[in-house]
Amino acid sequence: MLLSVVVPCFNEGNNVHSFYEYTTNILAGEDFQYELVFVNDGSSDDTLSCLKELSDRYEEVSYISFSRNFGKEAAMLAGLQYAEGDAVVLMDGDLQHPPELIPQMVHYYSKGYHQVIAKRNRKGDAVIKSSLSKLYYKMMNKFVDVSLVNGVGDFRLLSRKALNALLSLNEYNRFSKGLFSWIGFKEYTINYENVVREEGESKWTLSKLLNYGIDGGISFNNKPLRASIYMGMGVTVLGFIYVLTMLVKILFAGIDVPGYFTLISAILIIGGLQLTFLGIIGEYIGRIYYESKKRPHYIIEEETMTAKHENHQKWHTHA
């Protein structure tokens, strides 16, 4: 069998070589063939020249290089479309995903699992971050149709079947965590100890994480819109009850003028709710806007020219 390892890289110049050494050391001892597909996601450091060096020197290495930074989702998609293997492993280029797990993944793949997922614990993460993400996943699983699991990321093996299913979803707004779960298939989860990044820094800032969180909530269904209907109805009912009690009170006890506090609170709360749900509706419209443009997910500036190229072109024009 042929295993493709797909590695999105954004400013990983310091990691590419050690990634190659480390990973191939482990794969060389195995009884399957492998290829490494690196995707340079518009890095501003020497990632591209490192990748060129590797692919010149080693036959099993190929790369795709984007014209600018398109984000990890696009980079993963490009690599997956390019990969030729019977199975594909997705992993980060910063050595936070231990390659030691790959042989285990292949083992479960050969037992018939279509997705073999590596799940990390949150050791070494800041307490605030890990408790926030715990809360997030709790809420998400209430809101979203697909199930999302804390600690499960993109590090996983996909069989050719699962991969084709994944590639058949060609929406513009890709939220992979949800897509992996949406396609289904028999899956197996391996647990591993979290690894703290050694070289370079994480590309996740607080605002990026927040936006990613909102993406997750909105990408999968219209439950947030549904929630706004319920909340609107709830507020309306409360409003009616309030008006009725006030009316009765006025009829029996006459009008007492001071009402500033209730007035202002009503304006503030209802105003806030309205803005929030306007925002949610806007978010959906924005997505429709992006989907309807049907832009490609990424633009390739250069890539290794091999026989694979043809196969890739096929996907590329379909995307």
154 binds Mg ion (CB under 5 A): no
Residues 85-114 that bind Mg ion (CB under 5 A): 92, 94, 96
Stretch binding Mg ion (CB under 5 A), from 84-92, 155-163, 226-234, 268-276? 84-92
Residue 9 or 183: which CB sits closer to Mg ion? 9
Residue 96 or 189: which CB sits closer to Mg ion? 96
Residue 15 or 181: which CB sits closer to ligand UDP? 15
Binding-site ranges for ligand UDP (CB under 6 A)? 8-10, 12, 41, 69, 71-72, 75, 92-94, 96, 197, 202-204
* Min dist. Cβ of residue 151 to ligand UDP (A): 12
* Contacted by 71, from Mg ion, ligand UDP, none: CB < 5 to 8 Å by type: ligand UDP
Residue 94 or 215: which CB sits closer to Mg ion? 94
* Contacted by 314, from Mg ion, ligand UDP, none: CB < 5 to 8 Å by type: none
* Min dist. Cβ of residue 197 to Mg ion (A): 5
14 binds Mg ion (CB under 5 A): no
Considering only CA atoms, which of 115, 219, 116 is closest in space to residue 175?
219
* Residue showing tokens 């093996």: 157
Residue 119 or 161: which CB sits closer to ligand UDP? 119
* Min dist. Cβ of residue 97 to ligand UDP (A): 9
Residue 186 or 197: which CB sits closer to ligand UDP? 197
Give the footprint of Mg ion on this chain (CB under 5 A).
92, 94, 96, 197
